[in-house]
Chain A
Amino acid sequence: MNDVTVDWLPVVFIALTCLSLVVYAILDGYDLGVGVLLPLDSQSQRDSMIYSIGPFWDANETWLVLAIGLILIAFPKAHSIIFQALYLPTALMLAGLILRGVSFDFRTKAPSKNKAQWDLAFKTGSLIATLCQGYMLGRYVTGFSDSTFALAFCLLSAICVTAAYSFIGATWLVMKSEGKLQKRAAKWAIIANIFLAIGIIGVSIANLLFDTSVMEKWLSFPQVILLVPLTILFGFMFVTTHIYLKKVPFEHDLGCWYPFACGVCVFLLCFAGLAYSYFPYIVPMQLDIYQAASARDSLMIIFIGSIIVLPMIIGYTIFAYKVFWGKTSKLSY
């Protein structure tokens, strides 16, 4: 095969990778967020919160396996550069994910007296995972620079990503819970919303500063016009969510999905922004997707599988969500 005709494959695969990353960030985002928010003062609220994510977290986390798998499979060179550079935070993040993943099951199956300890492990594991993911995002955006400014930025990023996950987790709870817990979740969401806004502004500015080509992409004419509606949209969502959350609960739970939906929009837009900034680079300033891609024949094999299987995955994921639709009730085996 001639290279020109098949070179759409790296583009397709980077699109698939970004798609799974954003789906991961949204889906595992809310269950990580719920884990981070787990209150240490109320066993019954902890139970309700964990029931609300019980049927979903496992499949949610699989999107990370798919995303990392896609980078590994389609862009092996990028995978080894990125993850060798992020060696320690990756290991720590994995330890966090392991801890929270098992706590989930152990909390109800281990001796009853240990339940609170497993809940603490769940919270700690979730927090470690979100902080590490934020830190890793920061490292990635700054091109793995070791300057003090870059490291400070990574710490900011760690906090803001945790806030973003907390926000989507809290809004998930607003949607899935009732009564006291719902009100409490709305309060969490308000605080997280503010941090999220700061984070988006911070990351956007840093993004422009660290890489001149990114700045050019956004600030030259006519793309710069795009910033106007984007800013208005973000502002609108921020303000309306804020007002809505202040007034929770509404009669008949009117629009309980709205803050969560805004969270999803924010995640999608941020990812689209990042993708636009760096395309076609997969390691910022170092390696583009065409250089990093595997043999096109191998990509083709997975591509065929993906277009057959992905719709099925999406189909039964929707089915699973439908089965557990509505306000959370206690889980029964």
Chain B
Amino acid sequence: MLAFFNTPYEMSLILSRIQFAANISFHILFPTINIALCWILLFFKIRFNQTQDQSWLKVYRFWVRIFALTFAIGVVSGITMSFQFGTNWPGYMETVGNIAGPLLGYEVLTAFFLEASFLSIMLFGMDRVSNRVHTLATLLVAIGTSLSAFWILALDSWMQTPAGFEMRDGVAYVTSWFDVVFNPSMPYRLAHMVLASALTAAFLISGISAYRLLKGDNKNSVKYALNFSVLFAAIIIPIQIFVGDLHGLNTFKHQPAKVAAMEGVWETEKGAPLLLFAIPDEKTRENHFEVAIPYMASLILTHDQHGEIQGLNEFIGEHPPVAPVFFSFRIMVGIGMAMLLCAWLCSYLFVIKKQYPTWSLRLLVVMTFSGWLATLAGWYVTEIGRQPYLVTGVLKTKDAVTSTPAEHIALSLTLYISLYVFLLIAYVRTLYVMADRAVKLEQGSQSTTTSPILDNNQPAMES
């Protein structure tokens, strides 16, 4: 099948793209959980400080270990990214390094060290520092994860909607740092991502907690975690839908080709229908099997049912591959809707009925990793949607790629993919092992203030 690629160069390009996609897809799963999980941990810790209720501390201790595991995988998979720029995309830094460099630099300087240094105090320091310093360490780690998200999303948004620079001899030079950082899509993308993280963490917590309840673990700490996460998700999800809509409008304004691919609109039209389902065909440039709501797409995007949406045919050669963007978008929205229904239903059960029937717990278990799927789908929409550009209008992906031989990339790609598959399975499995282990512990009999150890032969302190 490789005969399809005419030159070794094309093969390096396609393999580098697959490798980058694999790396970033794997990497993002972990910060997606942790950006919000850390603030949630801070909430648990503060609740404990206020109430002195040991159950809050147990929730904290159970989830801080998952935070640590998630963080470790996030860190090590993130290091790969910083090497990739040079190994696979040398043209990227050579063209826009003057902008990407400082943003990445500030991420390392302001976020990485802060997180890594205080994480150890957060994890192992509870009996070595005062309670106040321990809470402060949690706060600092939370600030670190958020700062990290801030810088990375500033850079990614700049690549989507570049601003505040000028090109001289094919190299980007900054004219306004403010415009670079707060480029047109940055606030929307940041808000959308932070909320996505909140939802991912909330559904993870509710899923694992529901799993523990189903296994007969009736400790207060489990119920606290479940109630909190269900209500939290129920509040966040409508906000996310609202922000997502604003983000869409912003994309419509700045990246019309991406929106045309998301909506599957080929010809520029007024009063475009909203496609619930279709199979876009880039060869014939039309959709098959359309199921549509008339005028809705125009109404949503232009707030006028006869508003005009530019079609893909106006961007031939300059628009992204249609099918992956089109389907990813529908998967993201579909999962979002499922999350809305699930969170509201469970909140209703909790607030009005005061109990969760078994089927609702099972539903939450099924939804445990829904946040991952929605976030990945969302990132595919935004990142594939930027193609064929790496930096919109400035640098095409194919112009940034390495001259490294394709065989080498094939080797490294195989190495990474096998490692990722292995780690993903190990991670998910370990979450359930940790939950199972927590279930087995005697309810309430453990004193959580003594110094339990990390060793799993004596799983003394999990809630």
A and B found bound together: yes
Say yes or no: A301-B102 contact (C-beta < 8 A), given A99-B419, A105-B72.
yes
Is A208 close to B, CB under 8 A? Answer: no
Q: Given the complex of chains A and B, what is the CA–CA distance between A320 and B129 in angstroms?
A: 10
User: Does the CB pair B124–A324 fall under 8 Å?
Assistant: yes
Chain A residues with Cβ below 8 Å from B65 are 109, 333
Judged by a CB distance under 8 angstroms, whether A242 is at the interface is no
B109 touching A309 by the CB < 8 A rule? yes
B119 to chain A, nearest CB (A): 6
Are B412 and A76 neighbours in the complex by a CB distance under 8 Å?
Answer: no
Asked if B419 and A87 sit within 8 Å, CB to CB, the answer is: no
Chain B proximity mask over A168-196: 1 for CB below 8 Å, otherwise 0: 00000000000000000000000000000
Encoded as 1 (CB less than 8 Å from any B CB) or 0, chain A from 252 to 269 comes to 000000000000000000
Cα distance A71–B461 in the bound complex, in angstroms: 44
User: How far does the alpha carbon of A112 sit from the alpha carbon of B411 in the complex, in Å?
Assistant: 33
B105, B112, B128, B173: most-surrounded residue (chain A CB, <10 A): B105
User: B95-132, CB under 8 A of A: which get 1 and which 0?
Assistant: 00111011011101110111011111101111111000
Bound together, the chains give a CA A56 to CA B172 distance in angstroms of 38
- Across the interface, A84 reaches (CB within 8 A) one of B72, B73, B99, B402, namely B402
Whether A323 is near chain B, meaning CB under 8 Å from some CB there, is yes
CB neighbours of A76 from chain B (8 A): 86, 90, 93-94, 97, 101
Chain A positions within 8 Å of B104 at CB level: 69, 72-73
The minimal Cβ–Cβ distance linking B280 to chain A, given in whole angstroms, is 35
In contact, B426 and A65 (Cβ under 8 angstroms):
no
Q: Which residue of B lies closest to A317 (CB)?
A: B117
Shortest C-beta distance, B65 to chain A (Å), equals 6
Bound together, the chains give a CA A108 to CA B433 distance in angstroms of 11
Is B61 an interface residue, CB under 8 A from the partner? yes
What 0/1 readout, one digit per residue, does chain A (96-111) give for beta carbons within 8 Å of chain B?
Answer: 0111011011101111
The CA of A142 and the CA of B120, in the complex, are separated in Å by 39
- Check B105–A68 contact: CB distance below 8 A: no
Q: Give the distance in Å from the alpha carbon of A61 to the alpha carbon of B124 in the complex.
A: 18
A216 to B126, CA, bound (A): 56
Which of B75, B99, B123, B416 lies at the interface centre, i.e. has the most chain A CB atoms within 10 A of its CB? Answer: B75
Q: Is the CB of B124 within 8 A of A55?
A: yes
Does B76 sit within 8 A of A, measured CB to CB? yes
Asked if residues A80 and B90 are in contact (CB atoms below 8 Å), the reply is yes
Within 8 A of A (CB), among B71-90: 71-73, 75-80, 82-83, 85-87, 90
Neighbouring A residues of B452 by C-beta, 8 Å: 332-333
> In the complex, given contacts A58-B75, A64-B79, what are 20 additional A-B residue pairs having Cβ atoms less than 8 angstroms apart?
A51-B454, A55-B121, A58-B120, A59-B120, A68-B79, A68-B83, A69-B82, A69-B108, A72-B93, A73-B101, A79-B90, A82-B86, A87-B402, A94-B80, A97-B76, A106-B426, A313-B113, A313-B114, A316-B113, A332-B454
A-B contacts counted at CB < 8 A amount to 237
> Given contacts A84-B404, A333-B61, A333-B461, are A65 and B108 in contact (CB under 8 A)?
yes
Interface size class of B (residues with CB under 8 A): 35 or more
- When A66-B109, A88-B408, A302-B106 are in contact, do A333 and B101 touch as well, CB less than 8 Å? no
Asked whether, in the complex, the Cβ of B72 is within 8 Å of the Cβ of A101, the reply is yes
Query: Which residues of the partner chain B approach A108 to less than 8 Å between Cβ atoms?
Result: 454-456
- Residues B79 and A61 in contact, CB atoms below 8 Å apart: yes
Contact of A95 with B419 in the complex, beta carbons under 8 Å: yes
Q: Check if B69 sits within 8 Å of A83, measured CB to CB.
A: no
Give Cα distance in the complex from A333 to B453, angstroms. Answer: 7
User: Which one, A30-38, A198-206, A243-251, A292-300, is touching chain B?
Assistant: A292-300
**Chain B residues near A64 (CB, 8 Å)?**
79
A92 / chain B contacts, CB cutoff of 8 Å: 415
Interface contact A102-B456, CB-CB below 8 Å: no
Q: Which residues of B contact A77 (CB under 8 A)?
A: 94
Q: Find chain A residues with CB under 8 A from B69 CB.
A: 105-106, 109
Across-interface contacts of B152 in A (CB, < 8 A): none
Q: Do B426 and A110 touch across chains, with their CB atoms under 8 A apart?
A: yes
Q: Can you list 6 A-B contacts with CB-CB less than 8 angstroms, sorted by A residue number?
A: A55-B121, A55-B124, A58-B120, A73-B102, A102-B73, A102-B76
